[in-house]
Amino acid sequence: MEYTYEYFQKSADFLKTKVGYVPEIAIVLGSCLGPFSQAIEDPTVVDYADIPNFLVSTVASHAGKMIFGTVAGRKVVCMSGRFHSYEGYDFEQLVIPVRVLKLLGVKTVILTNAAGAVNTDYRPGDVMVIADHIKLNGNSPLRGPNVEEFGPRFFDVSQMYTPSLRKLALDCAEDSPLRVHEGVYMFFPGPQFETPAEIRAARILGADAVGMSTVTEALTAAHCGMPLLALSVMTNMAAGVLDRPLTDTEVDETANMIAGEFSEYVKKIVALI
């Protein structure tokens, strides 16, 4: 498949027929963080499966819907469900959502995810503002022919996670009941959880949390020149930190437990961007 500018434009043109405004902010919701979508006022909901040239989420806890509406007085588009390489998608396919958001006119992207805590000062239910990431696995989503309309072949990622947005998120945490940190996220391809040895290596390399998403979207946003904020919810301690096996049930339970507080936190950030 050749991913030309026109390929992504077809998706954006379809979505523009569904809404009569340009969304300012895009919010991508990770595993079990979907309840934030209930905060969207006057929603217009579009199933991913109905969008030409788009992808379909196969993870049970991801709704697979794009929701347009208003949050805290701001026009937003919310992706309730995202895509991962472990679902069988090529890394090159994972540029599709963010490039479509760019063509819709979105100015700022907020990514959220469920992550495992590597930093032993963290605990389940904490939130981490991503300051940087480590990706040693898999290809870049920007592999293959470059689409110049989105950005240059070689591009800087030294401030991919926008410093001003990170500061805003940390400021918003001051009166939040959530414990909020700033740290480094390390990407693993999954779908298996990481081994204890991999987590020890991640800690040595400087990672504070690990997960299976976010980085491909972040790289695509950086290529498009879009300001970016990424937030990780610590849904479990990573492998080997505690003497017990990891389960997706634990991830789901923790994410659901703090969904309300996390939604309020993200709403406050949206209001102040």
State percent of the chain over pLDDT 90.
77
Q: From the DSSP assignment, how many helices (H) and strands (E) are in the chain?
A: 6, 9
DSSP single-letter state for residue 239: B
Summarize the confidence of residues 160-172 as an average pLDDT. Answer: 98
Residue 149 pLDDT: 97
pLDDT of 228 over the 60 cut: yes
Residue 253 pLDDT: 81
Residue 173 pLDDT: 96
Tell me the CA distances in angstroms from 88 to 11, 42, 220, one per residue in order. Answer: 21, 34, 19
- Give the position of tokens 């070689």: 154
Q: What angle do CA 2, 45, 95 make, to 5 degrees?
A: 25
Kindly report the pTM of this predicted structure.
Answer: 0.94
Residue 122 pLDDT: 97
Residue 165 pLDDT: 98
Higher per-residue confidence, 242 vs 181 = 181
**CA contacts within 13 A on the Cβ side of 197:** 0
Residue 34 pLDDT: 66
What is the 3-state composition of the chain as percent helix, strand, coil, each rounded to the nearest 5? 35, 25, 40
Q: Under a CB-based contact definition with an 8 Å cutoff, are residues 67 and 44 in contact?
A: yes
Give per-residue pLDDT as tens, 122-156: 999 999 999 999 999 889 999 999 999 999 999 99
Give per-residue pLDDT as tens, 230-249: 999 999 888 878 877 888 78
Tell me how far apart the alpha carbons of residues 128 and 134 are, in angstroms, rounded to a whole number: 15
Give per-residue pLDDT as tens, 39-79: 899 999 999 999 999 988 766 555 689 999 999 999 999 99
